[in-house]
Chains A and B, each alone.
Chain A
């Protein structure tokens, strides 16, 4: 290795470390501040390197969040909403995708075309009419109004469809010879083969819905049904701001997801990479 190559390596490491600092510092400040029991102290430290020094490790802010914002209820709501979107969504979307990928019938290619076209519709462009509809149904301020509209998802169907048309038919044909029903084949032959795509869709749906704010702001204001995002938005809006508690609240939303991400890091990266469809 020449001297020049060694130089560029050093430069690369320097750049990578600076970038790492840039992406880490807000999260570190959040975590360190959340353990400081006094808001005046947090603010005083914030304008210096002390923002990174855990001068005190107190759980006071965390206790206060549990007492003041019904944290567990909001967490339960978020888990229930996102959990049912993912669980029911995986089933409903893979089922139609399998039907489209394996069965020959009139209108098949039209249906595939329509579903691909639907991917382009962003949620923001249906939010207000959807609000009018669910209001007519009397669904406002419930948990299910936050889940049901998102179960069927054109992009998930598309991802499953792309996966299924690549799966070789041999195994399924063997099952047909054995007299298994079509649903049986889908359920116990094809789905077990589909773990990679199931992981991908799960991660993409989770990331999209865990942080959702626009829809729950419109349909879920009460403490009983609001998810973590709305609880945070409402707590953040209260004056004067309790920064210690806000940071503890933020840490409790963030850290569990970060841990899951660190454990399944490779899967996350692969999912995002495969969402970048080529054309």
Chain B
């Protein structure tokens, strides 16, 4: 049976996390359908049609799906589900929001945040902040799965052009409504898509000092992240948080500045290719996972780093 992938998008652009999910789906089976549910979102369907691995795009265009409210999207996906063996979405805040509802409506489990596919019904996923890896076998007829993006390569585009089928299925529960959003605007790359990330922790002292990281980030084309300690202290907003309950990242280069290295933070970045730690405490646990450690006062060395790059 075919696999259904739920596309993440803002009605204009297909989000990168979906490309990783498509790769995961392709490892399970050959027939992969991409559901694009939104409002005035045909551009997203066209972007999905040329992604390698996608064999059909299902386009559902209705104002009920404009903000992908979980109450509506979950009912749409549940209605489509019986034709599929697997339903996959990225383990982003969007996927995490509606997918468990789909699982409950289908009376099946959700396998969250998978990092490896062992077979069509057996998957690996991190538990306990990544301090253990569980291999889980699903006994359900329909597998509802969210996929950790950093564990799978992004699918590329190809010359093929999958057919786009338009469906008119409307589920408008009218029990929830979108009020407003504050989207963080940044010239820098998104955390989950960045090749280089520089993050600050409690050692930054305050929010203003994050400009020291931003100067380095501008030189490297990097994204700026933060530890939970820095978020809890109110230095920076939560959407910058890297860790167990924040964003999971795996860039080529991760520079941790003034971050001690609590297990919750390591859970979000330890799959990075190269880790650099700058901390004045030489016993900080972050040095145990760092490829290159520099024991130094960040306020002295960050301006120097900016100058010399």
The answer on A and B forming one complex is no
B contact residues vs A (CB 8 Å cutoff): none
